[in-house]
């Protein structure tokens, strides 16, 4: 009887205990494989990534590149110069610095209405080029015989260029197109960089009857991203993603930093104050997996990984949030409410530090001068 009683008590206890809910599956039919370090909380089908290590291989590669031979001139690497060639060019340019400055100061007074401007040309070989409206070579040689000083004709000065570009700038601005240009008369053409592809611009220009701009204006178009904003195989992990509609033309260079996380499908930036803001991006940044399986930000033009979601990032700041120039903004706001922050085209803060190392040794200020 005693055994029956104990059995009855055990059965009664089991009957009254609350049922244990089943654990949510770590994956769902919509995303058969979760990225490395990602998880799903509760019954949500959206991913959460709060921490991710930086890519050590990418950091090592950046440090190795920085430790290698560096051209003396900032442009030497782009031109394929050796450090010796760059140093030689700088020495020659330094030798001519005084004469260059003297000519630049004198020519506007000695050749009014004729002298326009001067520039340092890098290719095919470097030279200082002086631009005139008439008799360029003969005019320059009246003041110098230096072979590294060359003369060239300037068809349009800065005022001419400003007059020619004004109606076109008004048209582009009215259409909401981003664009940049310079008025420097030292260039044979006046290049205008548009934040739109050639096909899209030609369609817009045809619809509005714009035609072609006159010389020396030359239009340059932005490339179309080769990668989607979000890898379709990972899109179900996110509640939304917003990016700028047009290509990035100008970037402010103040340093922004913060930790990018994915919280229940919403990409957010943890600021240094501990507050979270919903992240939006420039056109060129998207989301995909890196080679180690981490959910990461990638360059949509090249496929290069910028940094992982879950690590500290660095970006050029501040960036505006154009209300009418964002793709996916309304959907993102509905799915991920909160204050927005545009982190542009960010990269791993660890890689940024490897490229631009900062001294961690405090420097004592000099003592105050004696009276």
What are the residue ranges in the chain where pLDDT is below 70? 1-33, 68-78, 358-371
Per-residue pLDDT at 325: 82
42 Cβ contact list (under 8 Å, min separation 6) = 24
Question: What's residue 53's pLDDT?
Answer: 96
Length of the chain as a residue count = 371
DSSP E strands, 25-166: 115-121, 127-132, 149-153
31-44 pLDDT, tens digit per residue, is 556 899 999 988 88
Residue ranges per structural domain of the chain: 83-153, 158-220, 235-355
- Tell me if 46 sits within 8 A of 264, measured CB to CB: yes
How many Cβ atoms are within 10 Å of 59's Cβ, its own excluded? Answer: 17
**pLDDT of amino acid 15:** 44
Position 32 scores a pLDDT of: 55
CB-based contact 296:358 (threshold 8 Å): no
| Residue 366, CA distances (Å) to 175, 325, 371 in order | 56, 50, 15
pLDDT in tens, 115-151: 999 999 888 888 999 999 999 999 999 999 999 999 9
């Amino acid at each position: 009887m005693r055994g029956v009683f104990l059995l009855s008590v055990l059965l009664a206890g089991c009957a009254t205990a609350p049922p244990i809910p089943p654990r949510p599956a770590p994956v769902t039919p919509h995303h058969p494989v979760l990225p490395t370090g990602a998880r799903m909380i509760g019954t949500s089908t959206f991913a959460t990534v709060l921490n991710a290590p930086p890519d050590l291989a990418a950091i090592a590669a950046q440090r190795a590149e920085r430790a290698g031979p560096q051209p003396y001139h900032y442009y030497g690497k782009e031109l394929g110069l050796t450090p010796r060639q760059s140093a030689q060019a700088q020495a020659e340019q330094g030798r001519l610095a005084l004469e260059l400055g003297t000519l630049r100061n004198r020519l506007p007074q000695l050749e009014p209405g004729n002298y326009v401007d001067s520039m340092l040309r890098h290719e095919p070989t470097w030279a200082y080029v002086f631009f005139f409206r008439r008799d360029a070579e003969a005019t320059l040689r009246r003041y110098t015989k230096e072979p590294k000083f060359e003369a060239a004709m300037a068809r349009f000065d800065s005022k001419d260029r400003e007059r020619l570009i004004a109606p076109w700038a008004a048209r582009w601005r009215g259409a909401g197109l981003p664009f940049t240009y310079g008025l420097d008369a030292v260039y044979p053409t006046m290049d205008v960089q548009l934040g739109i592809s050639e096909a899209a611009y030609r369609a817009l220009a045809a619809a509005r009857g714009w035609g072609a701009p006159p010389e020396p204006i030359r239009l340059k178009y932005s490339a179309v991203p080769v990668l989607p904003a979000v890898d379709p195989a990972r899109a179900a992990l996110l509640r939304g993603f917003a990016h700028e509609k047009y290509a990035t033309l100008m970037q402010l260079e103040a340093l922004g930093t913060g930790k990018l996380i994915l919280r229940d499908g919403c990409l957010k930036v943890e600021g240094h104050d501990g507050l979270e803001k919903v992240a939006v991006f420039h056109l060129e940044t998207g989301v995909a997996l890196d080679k180690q399986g981490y959910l990461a930000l990638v360059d949509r033009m090249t496929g290069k990984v910028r940094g992982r979601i879950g690590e500290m990032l660095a970006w050029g700041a501040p960036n505006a949030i154009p209300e009418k120039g964002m793709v996916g903004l309304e959907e993102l706001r509905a799915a991920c409410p909160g204050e927005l922050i545009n982190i542009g085209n960010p990269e791993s803060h660890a890689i940024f530090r490897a490229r631009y190392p900062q001294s961690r040794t405090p420097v004592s200020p000099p003592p105050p001068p004696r009276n």
